[in-house]
Amino acid sequence: KNQVIPQNGKPFFDYGVQYITAKDEEFKNEVQRWVELDLCTQLDDDEVGIISAENGYTPFIKNRNDKESCAGGNFVGNGGMGILMSKLIDDAEKEFADGTLKVLRGFPDQNKKIQFLSRSSEAQGGKWTLRTKDGNNVGPFDTVIGGFAQHCLTDPFLLSGGDATKSMLSCLRRVESNQLIVMQVSFSPPIPSSNAPFTVAHVSGEE
């Protein structure tokens, strides 16, 4: 709701998840690919770390002995999380332009977002069909995999599936979760580097 595409030179709200620490070998290689696509920038060792009232700021230490890895270390998505994710989706769409992958975009036109689902009877094949907000059907599919963040979005979506999604809804309603919200704060004028010697920091020991 009330989402807009970020514009250069204008402040915008961002969760801050575009800050990435790559450790797993396969993921390091993938992030390096993002760098080569100009989607990410590698940060210096001292730009990312942990901050606490007790110990102040302590930077992460990048493993420089990992000679087999082209990537490793800490990165930031160019332009923010929203831009990074949008460009990665664009890249995937180009990679599978043969029709293997079809991307349905629910932003910025929310009438195109997937909002409902249904499943046919076993006699009819037990196939899943998705439906957009403006009433267009997508499918059928053998399997549907969903990623959910909030019950206020999950519940109405699964409720639209009726008996076919009743067990999934019941299971998710028993899940207790605490969302991690990462905030990015911009100061004008900037804080002197002597007071904030980092680009991003994990806050430790604060409730």
User: Distance (Å, rounded) from C-alpha 107 to C-alpha 101?
Assistant: 18
pLDDT of residue 128: 94
pLDDT of residue 36: 92
User: Distance (Å, rounded) from C-alpha 52 to C-alpha 31?
Assistant: 28
Tell me which residue of 67, 41, 47, 69 sits closest to 202, measured CA to CA.
Answer: 47
pLDDT of residue 181: 60
Q: Give strand pairing partners of 117.
A: 130
Tell me which residue of 75, 87, 76 sits closest to 5, measured CA to CA.
Answer: 87
pLDDT of residue 66: 39
Burial of 31 (0-12, 13-18, 19+ CB in 10 A): buried
pTM, to two decimals: 0.67
Spell out where 66-198 has E strands: 73-77, 114-119, 128-132, 137-141
pLDDT of residue 22: 81
User: Distance (Å, rounded) from C-alpha 195 to C-alpha 174?
Assistant: 44
Specify the amino acid at residue 35.
V
Burial of 91 (0-12, 13-18, 19+ CB in 10 A): middle
pLDDT by 10s per residue, the chain, length 207 = 566 777 767 766 666 667 888 878 888 889 999 999 999 898 887 788 888 878 788 887 643 443 333 346 888 888 877 788 888 989 998 989 888 888 888 877 888 888 899 999 888 889 999 999 999 999 899 998 887 767 777 888 889 999 999 988 888 888 776 556 666 666 777 777 666 778 777 777 665
Residues in the chain: 207
Tell me which residue of 57, 78, 60 sits closest to 23, measured CA to CA.
Answer: 60
